[in-house]
Each structure stands twice: as C-alpha cells, then as structure tokens.
Amino acid sequence: MNKEKISIVIPVYNTEKYIKECIESILKIKNADIEIIAVNDGSTDNSFKILCEFANKDKRVIAINKKNSGVSDTRNLGIEKASGKWIAFVDSDDIIDSKAFDELILKADENKDMIFFTFSYMSEDGKPKEKVDYINKSWDSAEGFIQNFEILDFQIQNVWCKLYKSEIIKNNNIKFDIKISVAEDGAFNMDYYRNINSIQCLNFSAYLYRLRPGSLIHSVSLPSKGEESYKHYCDFIKYMCTSFKVNIEDYKTLSSFFINMGAINKIAAVSIDKNRSNEEIKEVLNNEYLQRAINGTKPVGIYKKIVYGLIKRKALHRLKLLFNIKFSLLSNKKIYNFVKNITG
C-alpha cells in the first residue's frame, strides 16, 4: 500500500505541551500520502493556535475547531472530513515512529480490510520504554482473528495502532457512540469487525504511547454509575463470544474485561494523580458490579492476584501504593522488565 492516502484523525483537548511533537512525528512519514485532521475539542489552552500554525504552513494539516463535546463526537467529525483510503487515530499526546510506520506501509497488504500494528510505551518526556509485541499474521475472516484475541493482549478494543478502510466506515455508517463514555473504542471496533472479511497484523512498533497521569485518566473510565455502562461492557464481550464463537467461558471473560478495562485502570489513574480524591477510588471499590465480577474471576499471575485481592478487600491505600510503584517502574525499563518476568 505504498503511497496510498492515509487520513490521521487527532482529537485535541488541552495538549499544547505535546501536540507539536505529535504532528511533527506524523509529517515525517514518507511512504504514504498523509492527511492530518486535527480536531480541537474546545481546548482552553493554546492547542488550537498551534494547530493553525501547522495548517498555515503545511497543506497536509487540516485544523478544525469546535465546542467541547467529547472524544467520540470529535473523532466522528474527523472521520467525516477524512478523504484518505485509510483512516488512523492518534491521541494528541502520543507520537508516531515514522521509520517504523514507513516500514509497515511497505509490508501492509492493501487488499486487507484492517491493519494492526504494535506500539511502545514512552515516558512523559518522550523516552521509549517497553514494547508490546504482536505476531506477524493474516486472517481471512474477523472470526478467525478474534478467536485469537489473547495473542494481541486484548488490544482488539482500542482504536490506535490500527488502519481502517475509510470506505468500510462510511458505507456502513460506523461511528463512535456519543452516548457512552466507557469502551467507546471497543463499540466502534465491534461495528467495524461486523463488516470486514480480512485482517493483517504486523509486528512494527510504530506508535508511541505516552505514560502520564492525564493519558491514563482520559483513556479509560469506570462504569461506576450503574447499569448502562456496565451493560455496555457486557454487550461488548457477549457479542464477541456469540458472533465470533470465541472458545471461552462467557461470564469469566465478562468479569475479566470489566475489571481490567474499567476498574483497575480507573483506580490506577486516580492513584497516580495527586489532584484526584480518594473518594473516587472508594466509589470504584464499592461498585456492586465490580465486586460481583471480581468474585467470579480467577486472576492469572502474581500481580493480578495481588490487585484482585486488594480490590476484594477494598484496600484503598495499598492499591494506591501499588499503582504508584508500578508507574515508577514503567519509567525504568530494566527494572520493569525484571519485575514483569518474575511476576507474570
């Protein structure tokens, strides 16, 4: 798919510190006709000013300003404006490794309906950390791919590190659901999986995910306000189990996804942010759906066993300490990999 047009949609909200580096990294891509659609979601800092500066000097950058309405509505506007054959999503505090992206473009099969690639974590100041490895493999059906979702460490639900065909999105009116604030990426992907026939996975680490309190906070929200959000998680997994015949026990999978995608990430986000209140963690720990889920799940590995046990006992302060230690370890690759190898 060398030199094909790729529209990269960037939702932007108060990331003046990072957006310049983000856009500059994308503009370095050589093996694709790049179109950057940067949609400012009512930022109160200088983010939109920076976008306009790029748009004025480089025709590949389109800067759009709108009132704040959330990331789903912002991405939908970006999709609407996209003119490329392919669409990718990049968060405004993350960056693209242009060399790795150029390499994956040369290996990507333009006849596939979806391209997966991998990513690396980086520290807040931009230093690369742990790489997440995938396998190089192609599937001729979404069913075959999703039956192997554990190979990709459950990354089937997020929208970054993927190339989507614009025609499939637009012809099937696939959009991010603005009515939900939990697992909206997963809902979008499920709609996309319904309408595709083939997927290619490439082990090129072309996306750098910035580890910082803000990115964690905005990446996952806990379904703490009751039935609607929790039901959406359940629907996400039930659809995967029934439509794609995944050979796993439904309830355990539902529970595991609920805990990992919602509760643990929410607790971690609040724990490492000094401006957040312990009351937010208490709300999570007292969530009846969480406690119901965790009682039906058997964690694998020392780390998860510890976390699940602390959640079950509602050990707020120990959880905060644990996540602060983990976040610190992520900033030191050698120590993190050592601990990861011995804890599983």
Statement to judge: residues 69 and 145 lie in one domain: yes
Report the C-alpha gap between 156 and 151 in whole angstroms: 10
The residues near 322 (Cβ < 8 Å, ≥ 6 apart) are 306, 307, 310
What is the rounded average pLDDT of the residues 184-209? Answer: 89
Statement to judge: residues 64 and 184 lie in one domain: yes
What is the rounded average pLDDT of the residues 179-208? Answer: 85
CATH number of the domain where residue 163 is located: 3.90.550.10
Quick one: which of 204, 175, 156, 216 has its CA closest to 87? 175
Q: Assign 216 a pLDDT band (cuts: 50, 70, 90).
A: very low
pLDDT at 166: 98
Statement to judge: residues 243 and 153 lie in one domain: no
Q: Is the pLDDT of residue 224 over 50?
A: no
Q: Token pair for residue 62?
A: 């389109």
Higher pLDDT, 249 or 100: 100
Residue 247 has phi, psi (to 5 degrees) of: -85, 70
Domain boundary among 163, 180, 211: 211
Statement to judge: residues 103 and 153 lie in one domain: yes
pLDDT at 227: 42
pLDDT at 37: 99
Tell me the residue range of the domain where 338 lies.
Answer: 219-343
Q: Assign 189 a pLDDT band (cuts: 50, 70, 90).
A: confident
Query: Which amino acid is present at 298?
Result: K
Higher pLDDT, 26 or 131: 26
The residues near 75 (Cβ < 8 Å, ≥ 6 apart) are 9, 11, 39, 89, 159, 176
The answer to whether the CB of 132 falls within 8 A of the CB of 153 is: yes
Statement to judge: residues 192 and 235 lie in one domain: no
pLDDT (tens digit per residue) in 53-107: 999 999 999 999 999 999 999 999 999 999 999 999 999 999 999 999 999 999 9
Statement to judge: residues 20 and 140 lie in one domain: yes
Q: Is the pLDDT of residue 214 over 60?
A: no
For the chain, count helices (H), then strands (E).
Answer: 16, 10
pLDDT at 217: 41
Statement to judge: residues 112 and 238 lie in one domain: no
Residue 26 has phi, psi (to 5 degrees) of: -75, -40
Statement to judge: residues 204 and 241 lie in one domain: no
pLDDT at 87: 99
What is the rounded average pLDDT of the residues 180-190? Answer: 76
Statement to judge: residues 104 and 202 lie in one domain: yes
β-strand partners of 139? 199
Statement to judge: residues 81 and 164 lie in one domain: yes
pLDDT (tens digit per residue) in 140-150: 876 666 666 55
Lowest-confidence pick of 118-132, 168-182, 190-204, 301-315: 118-132
Q: Is the pLDDT of residue 159 over 90?
A: yes
Burial class (CB in 10 A: 0-12, 13-18, 19+), 96: buried
Higher pLDDT, 235 or 99: 99
For the ranges 99-103, 212-216, 242-246, the maximum mean pLDDT occurs at: 99-103
pLDDT (tens digit per residue) in 270-284: 787 777 888 888 887
Domain boundary among 180, 211, 242: 211
Report the C-alpha gap between 146 and 141 in whole angstroms: 9
Q: Is the pLDDT of residue 324 over 70?
A: yes
The answer to whether the CB of 22 falls within 8 A of the CB of 50 is: no
Q: Assign 339 a pLDDT band (cuts: 50, 70, 90).
A: very low
Share the mean pLDDT of the chain.
82
Statement to judge: residues 58 and 166 lie in one domain: yes
Q: What pTM does this model have?
A: 0.75
pLDDT at 155: 67
Count how many domains the chain has. 2
Statement to judge: residues 18 and 120 lie in one domain: yes
Length of the chain: 344
pLDDT (tens digit per residue) in 9-66: 999 999 999 999 999 999 999 999 999 999 999 999 999 999 999 999 999 999 999 9
Q: Assign 240 a pLDDT band (cuts: 50, 70, 90).
A: low
What is the rounded average pLDDT of the residues 194-210? Answer: 92
Q: Is the pLDDT of residue 298 over 80?
A: no
Domain boundary among 211, 230, 248: 211
